[in-house]
Amino acid sequence: MFVFLSKLLDLLLAPLTWGLLLMVGGLLLRRWRARLGTWLQVLGLGVLYAFSTEPVANGLQRWVEAGAVSTYRPGEPYDAVIVLGGMVDADATERSGLPEYTHPVERILRGFELVRDGRAPQVLISGGTLDTRPGALVEADILSRQLQLWGIPPERIVVEGRSRNTRENAVESERLIREKGWRKLLLVTSAAHMPRALGTFEAVGLNPDTLVVDVRAHEFHPRLAWWQPRAANLSAGTDALRELFGRFVYRLRGWT
C-alpha cells in the first residue's frame, strides 16, 4: 500500500500537475469569477515556465545533492560493492529485448569498474520491480546479465530482486549481507539519492562507505539559454522535489 501511495504522491508533487490544475481550475472559474479564473490561469502558466527554466531546475538539483558525500577509499579492500537499482527503463527493455537505461546508468558503470579493477570480490545488485504481471522483468536480473556480458563471472554477482523502493533495498540487502558475513561495504548510487539511501542503510544497522555518481547539478554560469523553457528542466526539478519529499516521509516513518 505504501508503495502505491508513494507513486500517487509522485504525481501530485510534479510542477506539471500543479500548473495544469491551476489552469483547469481557472478555466472552470472564469464563468463565475472571471478575474480570479484569469489569475489562476496566469499562475499556472507561471509555474510551468519557472520550473522549466535552468536556474530553477539547477537550483533544486544543487539543493538535493548538497548532502551527498563520497567516503570511498581507493586503497581500501571492500568485501562487496552495493549497487542500487533505478536505472533500467523496463518498458523499453521489454520492447527492444536489450537493456535500455535512464540517466542513473552511472551506478552500474561505476559498480562494474570497481569489481573489474579488484576493489571488491563481489557486487550486490539491489532492485526489483513494481510490475505485478507474471514474468515481469526484474531490474537486478537485467543488470546481472549486463555485468556478465561485460566479463564479470556470475559467481561474483549477488542479485537482490525483491525490493521496490529504497527502504526495501536496505532491508533485503541487510539480510543477504548478514548471510554472506560481509563487513566492509561500498554503497554506489546517485548524488541526489545518496543521503536518503545511506540513512536507510544505517537505520538497518549497516555502515557502508559511499561512492556518489550521477551528479546532475552544475555551477551557475548565466547565459541566454537559461531563460528558455525546456522539458528536461521540468523533469529534473520534478525529480529533485520528489527526492526531497521522499526524505521527509522516510524521516517521518523512522526509516532513516
DSSP secondary structure of the chain? -HHHHHHHHHHHT-HHHHHHHHHHHHHHHTTT-HHHHHHHHHHHHHHHHHHTSHHHHHHHHHHHHTT------TT---SEEEEE---B-HHHHHHHSS--B-GGGHHHHHHHHHHHTTS-SEEEEE---S--STT---HHHHHHHHHHHTT--GGGEEEE----SHHHHHHHHHHHHHHHT--SEEEEEETTTHHHHHHHHHHTT---EEEEE----------GGGGS--HHHHHHHHHHHHHHHHHHHHHHHT--
At 227, the pLDDT band (50, 70, 90 cuts) reads confident
Q: What is the pLDDT of residues 57-82, one digit of tens each?
A: 999 999 999 999 999 999 889 999 99
The tens digit of pLDDT for each residue in 122-137 reads 999 999 998 888 888 9
Domain ranges in the chain? 2-66+232-253, 80-213
- Output the pTM of the full model: 0.90
Residue 9 has pLDDT above 90, yes or no: no
Q: Which CATH number fits domain 80-213: 3.40.50.970, 3.20.20.70, 3.30.70.120, 3.40.50.620?
A: 3.40.50.620
